[in-house]
Amino acid sequence: MAKHINVALIGNPNTGKTSVFNRLTGLNQKVGNYPGITVEKKQGTCKFGRSCKVHILDLPGTYSLNASSVDENVVIELLLNKNDKDFPDVAVVVADIENLKRNLLLFTQIKDLGIPAIL
């Protein structure tokens, strides 16, 4: 039986989450050089080896887990609901190296929730 893993791509707006998503899934979601392109979660899959199916979620950009917009709320609702079928087994925090300090706030908030995370 194939193993199934949920991976959430999370990060500040305009850090390249959708570009990573497109590369991993082979899909072609719209990307842009300004915030607000992704306003809902996008889903795709990729295979890892012969027996592992990875479910990739491209989430809207957020600066923190304190929602100030509807699209940021999509991220928070997912991360706070362990019963959600899309709850991530691991979060990949896509960061802008030019603004690393700002990106680290979100990373530490995700770690504080107990979700395994990669920066």
pLDDT at 25: 95
Domain boundaries, the chain: 3-118
Of 41, 46, 35, the C-alpha closest to 13 is: 35
Q: Which two tokens stand for residue 78?
A: 């997912």
Q: What is the CATH number of domain 3-118?
A: 3.40.50.300
Token digits of residue 111: 């770690």
Q: State the pLDDT at residue 54.
A: 96
Q: Per-residue pLDDT for the chain (119 aa), expressed as one digit of tens each? A: 567 899 999 999 989 999 999 999 998 887 665 555 556 889 999 988 888 899 999 999 999 999 888 888 999 999 999 999 999 999 999 999 998 998 999 999 999 999 999 99
Query: What does the pLDDT read at residue 72?
Result: 87
